[in-house]
Amino acid sequence: MCLSALLDLGVPPEVLKKVIEQLQLPVTLEIHSVKKNSLRAASITVKEKEPQPRERTLRQLMEVLEAGNLPQSIKSQVEACLYRLAAAEASIHGTAIEEVHFHELGGLDTLVDLAGTFAAISHLQIDQVCSSPLPLGRGAIKTNHGLIPTPAPATMELLQGTPTYGIPFDGELVTPTGAALVTTLASFFGPPPQGRWLKVGYGAGSQDLPWPNILRAWLGEADEQEVGLGNNIHFNRFDEDEVVILDAQVDDTSPELLPYLRTQLQEAGALDVLFAPAVMKKGRPGIMITALSSPNQVYALVNILFQETTTLGVRWHKAGRIKLHRDVQEVNTNYGKIRLKIGYGFNQEGKRVIYNLAPEYEDCALAAKNNEVPIKKVYQAALKNCRIDF
């Protein structure tokens, strides 16, 4: 339903097909339009090209993921969701995480759901995902483990802390995979935020319900004139968003491994990475690792911190962020073209106010090397040739 709704929003089918090619999966997608209680919606069915095992373990799915060539940012999000799904199943069944099995098309359907959704979000260049509270049904459903109550125990495990509401319907409305996706992607649960809605996509579910069984995805942009800071509405002089700050301390990780860690975190979507010296327990010198994350990248970055360092835990907290609006201008200099980063806000009359100009370091360094001049000369030339009033 997530994939179908995003496809209906304008994601080309080639984006999803490319994901399957990158993962080298022996499956195809059937995309068609259906009606649910008179409402048109997109629908996607995953079909196997050849018979697949009835189930795969977490390790086997990870091996499929490793054998593919997904972009690192997409791959990290898929890994994080798979671990969360497996951890939820292991917790409620009282088994080791390695013993958890994925059943739909031997788990390949889950890979398509996760990787396809993250790739579609990336294609649409979505900065923030918001969700309504989630509806939960009741009763029991038949699974490979026999009859279990609905919402499924794994779903409830994944929805801890998430706003939900119950309705008098016997059946499953939120699956474990859906719960993992929405809690990974959404940074806010509640009524639609203020903004301008550009398009609505409709993704069909497989069941026929008393109401249209569809997932609606609204694509919009924030109002540039008014945004909220806490409970106050003010003129949008600056840009604004919410980030998650991840902190981990280590005193037994070799410093020579930290540059690689920084690269892995940044490729997985970290907004910034900071290393700072710290004095830890027993007076031992250590390193404080801080990563700035968008709300939908948290688990992917935490997974990397656990994989690449010796830390046993990661602290996190949300923080509001006020930023300058940003633009990039390319300027001509005697040393070649140099990109210039522009940081600006607005005054009370709505006119743009430039606060900062910064030549792109990589451009300046390459130009300085090619022209055999000091890098500061390239910086000065880029600022001098800029046609913006500062």
pLDDT digit string, tens, across residues 230-240: 434 344 577 77
**CATH fold of 241-321, please?**
Alpha-Beta Plaits (3.30.70)
Place of tokens 């522009």: 342
With 0.75 as the threshold, say if the pTM is over it: no
Spatial CB neighbours of 336, under 8 Å, sequence gap ≥ 6? 363, 367, 370, 371
Using alpha carbons only, give the angle 214, 198, 127 rounded to the nearest 5 degrees: 85
pLDDT in tens, the chain (390 residues): 999 999 999 999 999 999 999 999 999 989 999 999 989 999 999 888 888 787 888 888 888 999 999 998 899 889 888 888 888 888 888 888 877 888 655 578 889 999 999 999 999 989 888 899 999 999 988 877 678 888 988 999 999 888 999 998 998 999 999 999 999 888 888 888 878 889 999 999 988 888 999 999 999 987 654 444 443 434 457 777 788 999 999 998 888 999 999 999 999 889 999 999 999 888 889 999 999 998 878 888 999 999 999 999 999 998 888 888 888 888 999 999 999 999 988 876 667 888 999 999 999 999 999 999 999 999 999 998 887 655
Q: Where in the chain is the domain with CATH 3.30.70.1380?
A: 241-321
> What pLDDT was estimated at residue 227?
43
The span from the CA of 343 to the CA of 184, in Å, is: 30
